[in-house]
Amino acid sequence: MPDEILVVKDLKTWFPIRAGILQKTVAHVRAVDGVDLEVRKGETFGLVGESGSGKTTLGKSVLRLIKPTDGQVYFDGIDVTKASKKELTHLRRRMQFIFQDPYASLDPRQTVGSTLVEPMKIHKLVSSKAEAMKRAKELLLRVGLNEEHLFRFPHEFSGGQRQRIAVARALAVDPDFIVLDEPTSFLDVSVQAQVLDLLKELQKELGLTYVFISHNLSVVQYMSDRVGVMYLGKLVEDAERDVLYKYPEHPYSYFLMAAIPVPDPEYKKPSKLLTGDVPSPVNIPPGCRFNPRCPYATDKCRSGDMPFYTGSGGSYHRVACHYNIDFDSGNEVLRPQMS
């Protein structure tokens, strides 16, 4: 059994919708609605899904940047959802978050140097200012920037450089675990790989564990060891990367893979397309959440619970679908119940 650094159990993060003079809660946006997840030490767990599927909310809930409504998050055995303020500060040194937009996540009025030194001071990792600056310099060099950048402000940098600064800031506190929320979606393709490779190198060197969130399936494929697919607040499938990309078993995963544009004009794409849009996370359809858009849905899918079944990709392959579907012929076979 590989050791899990992060265990998420039935995590729910709901946002209330308030209305009226008394601001009564009339409904909930069920952004994350019952997610079970395990992340092993040293691996990259990729989380894919369309906008509104809850992947960012899940990432933030894991670090308690948003307080989850229900469920548990164990980081190295400690329940993050119940941690006291003091424990949380301690935990956050070990768990870091890198945001999507490097134009918004860096303080425009702080120099790069003070951005990097601040977290070290908060966590009392350095004893003197000189030591802090020395560490900051090392970090900048490590992420591919220069010493002279220490005294510059974020607006003087390009998007790729800013994201490097954000990476350096996350590393300043010597974390074990980083949630990367779409770290390259603001970057151009020609520099995207530079940042992805930097993240890969750092992981190897420092033994980091990543949760890599992205809507870009090709990038997730490049980065991850295992991948989970989210739809409307729930995981619908998770497996080893190659299993998932080659043999997706959940119909949503299959259609998601088929929809990715391919950089090859001569490639004949599977002609099947998913119709419709993701439903609102306020009115979640009963049964399997994907059933209104699923061409294979039967009455069984329209009510009741949707458990996980073991997929054909081994014991770590979980699929939330009652059927084993042959996507070419459209044949569906009921899966045996998991014991």
Partner 1 sequence: MASGTFLTRGLGGEDMAAKEEALLETRDLTVNFHTYRGEVKALDHVQLSLYPHEMLALVGESGCGKSVTALTILGLLPQNAHVLEGQVLFKGEDLLKKTPEQMQEVRAEGIAAIFQDPMTFLNPVLTVGVQLKEAFLVQKHIWTAETRDMSATGTADSEIRGFLLEKESKKESSKRESGRERGKIVEELSKDILKLVRLPDPERILTQYPHELSGGMRQRCMIAMALARRPSIIVADEITTALDVTVQAQILTLLKELRDTIDASSILITHDLSVAAETADRIAVMYAGHVVEVASTIELFRNPLHPYTQLLLKCIPDVRKPVAHLESISGTVPDLIDPPTGCRFHPRCPFAMEVCRTTKPVLKDIGNGHMVHCHLY
Contact residues: partner 1, CB under 8 A: 50-51, 158, 160-161, 188-194, 196-197, 215, 217-219, 221-222, 242, 245, 255-267, 269, 273-275, 277-278
Least Å from the CB of residue 269 to partner 1: 8
Measured distance CA(214)–CA(45) in Å, rounded: 11
Smallest gap from residue 334 Cβ to partner 1 (A) = 26
* C-alpha to C-alpha distance for 7 and 40, rounded to whole angstroms: 9
Closest approach, Cβ 166 to partner 1, in A, equals: 17
DSSP count for the chain of H helices, then E strands: 9, 14
Nearer to partner 1, 277 or 326 (CB): 277
Minimal distance, residue 146 CB to partner 1, in Å: 14
Nearest approach in angstroms of CB 112 to partner 1 is 17
Nearer to partner 1, 52 or 68 (CB): 52
Which of residues 89 and 218 has its CB atom nearest to partner 1 in the complex?
218
State phi, psi for 49 to the nearest 5 degrees.
Answer: 165, 165
Minimum distance, C-beta of residue 339 to partner 1, in the bound complex (Å):
34
CB proximity list for 90: less than 8 A, separation 6 or greater: none
When the beta carbons of 93 and 272 are compared against partner 1, the nearer one is: 272
Nearer to partner 1, 202 or 219 (CB): 219
Residues 6+ apart with CB under 8 A from 319: 236, 237, 249, 250, 308, 309, 310, 311, 335
Identity of the residue, 169 or 241, whose beta carbon is nearer to partner 1 in the bound complex: 241
> Which of 42, 154, 167, 153 shows the shortest CA–CA distance to 97?
167
Q: Around Cβ 4, how many Cβ atoms within 10 Å?
A: 18
CA distance 94 to 173: 7
